[in-house]
Structure 1
């Protein structure tokens, strides 16, 4: 049996710095015989910042959010890694991994302990950010589950907001998530998300209208 897989990798930069990275892997063939890509990512022993399991039997349906560090240009970049994995019968598989650079939302040099469940609960800003990310990721998790149905509905991902929704204020009086970019130890530039322009701006240089 020949199996084919495809992976798409996307990278987003903000003001020249790496901000978001996403990789999506999917099985491209539908073999005649039955089988499963079970990985058990949501095992009870796998303790993470956020873990949402909707697995049934051999079918994977797992969402994880965890602290993760990558290297770019020989520099360690701390971030949060969102993993959504879904597998069903007939070797159907879809896995998304999304990395968010924490330095660009004001948490440079943060450690894994600071982004553990106990650490996040001590910081209102971190807790708000994780809650928003979890809410968004759950909609992706449900969309992936719909998309792997044999009927392949074209509307599987309808209603899922863009990742930028995590950084928007959710109601009057709520403060938006703020990104702080620093290119030297003694200077920093603060950015906020502008819903009208649908991008981050420096309020000192540009108005949101």
Structure 2
């Protein structure tokens, strides 16, 4: 069986790493368009900024913060009532997924075919920006897929997102006890299973 927490930590680490690269590319693009050098033919030499680059900048910052928070929750077995559950993770992940989809799609519409100007640095920055936006979207899609598959296989929508349900080690709640008609509680052990 695959070590599910380690797999998720590695995907979130890759997401944080590629988001840092995207953060640098978007910052370089915003700096270039707001400080256009003299004699540059872009936009007749007038400063401007691209709103979609600002959206990708904000998305990459949120993705970095979210990735490190989730890595911390998984590694430290952090348990909170809402944010540290699979439900909270899936909501946050879906928001980032939509933001990356919108940013990557619009950036591809504007700068998808820049092969004719690859000798200029701004075109290479835009090409790399589009590529890293799609890479981050693909990583978020993988994380979303494996989280949904794990939640469906284990029925853990409201369980702690660290994915290690050991009743002796978890202080999340008394969800390991079930009520019975005899008035006594029966201790049940929730096992983590995954279909691959």
TM bucket (normalised to shorter chain) is under 0.3
TM-score (normalizing by structure 2): 0.27
Q: Which has the larger radius of gyration?
A: 2
Higher helix share: 2
> Structure 1-normalised TM-score?
0.26
User: Which has the larger share of strand?
Assistant: 1
